[in-house]
Amino acid sequence: MHPAQRPGPKENTCLALPFGAKRPLRQTLPKCPLFAENARIENSMDKFEILFGSNPVLQVLVPFITVALPMLFLFAYATFGFMVGSLEIKGARSGRALFDRAAKQLATAGLVLGWTLLIGSRVWLFVQSEGYVPQSFLAVVVELSWGVFGFAVIASSIHFAVWKPLANHKIGHAFLAYFSGINGLFALFALMGAIRLMAAAELPNAAQLSLNDIYNFSQVPSPQIAALALILPLGLAVPPLAAICWIFVRRQKEDYGRDYYNALVKWCASWGLVFWPLVTLVLAGTAWMDIRPLLGAATPVAPMALVEPTVRVLLPLVICLVLWLTKRAELPMRMKPYLIVCFFLALGASHYLYTCATGFVF
């Protein structure tokens, strides 16, 4: 073949052109990056759905994490103000700058966590807005609960903003910290009430339910009683674990020395040891309420029926043990991996509380 008749190196054709003839212009449609990106996302989603449908571990783990992790962060933020205020009072009494520095470090953690939850919950409500009628009672309650939570975040933001102006007024500063903690705790109860109302709206007999049916605390034992008993202890028990994790994360940029971090981790462990035993007692009571009917049944108790109540109690017991060892350790920072694991073990208690808050017995 004559060299002039050979196709070009980039031409996708096998036709030979006459000598001297001009090649026709190739008309190609421009590629739309948006369509390509959408196709790639749809392909990835299809692969995830196939993987999710064929993997029983993911079918259990993904719904658990999507519920338990936001709940855990919510409980971590709720009473951060109480820890900050206690550190400021301890610093004023002892005259040590260590506690003032620790209070500001934890106040920063609460501020970041609060605004992240506030913005994330607003986005989630925008996505879920089609699930309820605008201006309905459900919509009003949901928006009010979000507003209460927003007020709590603003209160903690004001407390952080006046840190320098009130540097010499430790008691007043501690009062603002406790005020933000009270608002966070009140917002926690309001949000749990709104979550229960949203769960009731999805029931088949939702149209026949009244507020007395939804918030009926006269029946004992019941899921709502278990949730009500667990909110306060868990809201005070999770923040020290979150504070310890924040300390570990920020140490690379805010290294105040080994003695500072050992003292702060030990103080957080002491705080956690006050409330995690209460959480364990409440969960042990709920486990006994679940197991007692099985023991009185005529049929033998299935071993799998005892797994969930047993794990429910063992997880907070492990957390109590690790916190006790941390408090007694000479170098608490060496307990770092175990303390991080304890934070994620608290997912079990937060998920159980959500299950109780959205459970109904009629």
Compute CA 329 distance to the chain's CA centroid, rounded to the nearest angstrom.
Answer: 29
Q: Which of 10-19, 31-40, 72-81, 302-311 has the lowest mean pLDDT?
A: 10-19
Is 150 a domain residue? yes
Mean pLDDT score of the chain: 81
Contact by Cβ (8 Å): 242, 76? yes
CA–CA dist 262, 62 (Å, integer): 35
pLDDT digits (tens, 9 = 90+) for 239-256: 999 999 998 888 878 777
* pLDDT number for residue 266: 92
21 compared with 123, residue with greater pLDDT = 123
- Total domain count, the chain: 1
Phi–psi pair at 220, nearest 5 degrees: -130, 130
* pLDDT number for residue 359: 82
Is 9 a domain residue? no
pLDDT digits (tens, 9 = 90+) for 42-71: 566 566 566 656 666 777 777 788 888 999
Q: Which two tokens stand for residue 313?
A: 């109690």
Q: Residue type for 153, please?
A: V
* pLDDT number for residue 19: 47
Contact by Cβ (8 Å): 238, 72? yes
Is 23 a domain residue? no
pLDDT tops 90 at residue 39: no
* pLDDT number for residue 306: 82
The structure tokens 């909110």 sit at 231
Is 227 a domain residue? yes
pTM for the full predicted model: 0.80
How large is the average pLDDT for residues 225-231? 90
CA–CA dist 163, 169 (Å, integer): 10
Is 193 a domain residue? yes
Exposure string of 144-155, with b = 16+ CB inside 10 Å and e = fewer, is: ebbebbbebbeb
Is 14 a domain residue? no
Is 4 a domain residue? no
362 pLDDT band, cuts 50/70/90, is: low
Compute CA 326 distance to the chain's CA centroid, rounded to the nearest angstrom.
Answer: 24
Burial class (CB in 10 A: 0-12, 13-18, 19+), 81: buried
CA–CA dist 219, 245 (Å, integer): 39
Which among 232, 225, 283 has a CA at the least distance from the CA of 75? 232
186 compared with 129, residue with greater pLDDT = 186
Is 290 a domain residue? yes
Which residues form the domain of 142?
A: 63-205+212-357
Q: Taking the chain, what is the end-to-end CA distance rounded to the nearest angstrom?
A: 89
Which among 261, 258, 329 has a CA at the least distance from the CA of 105? 261
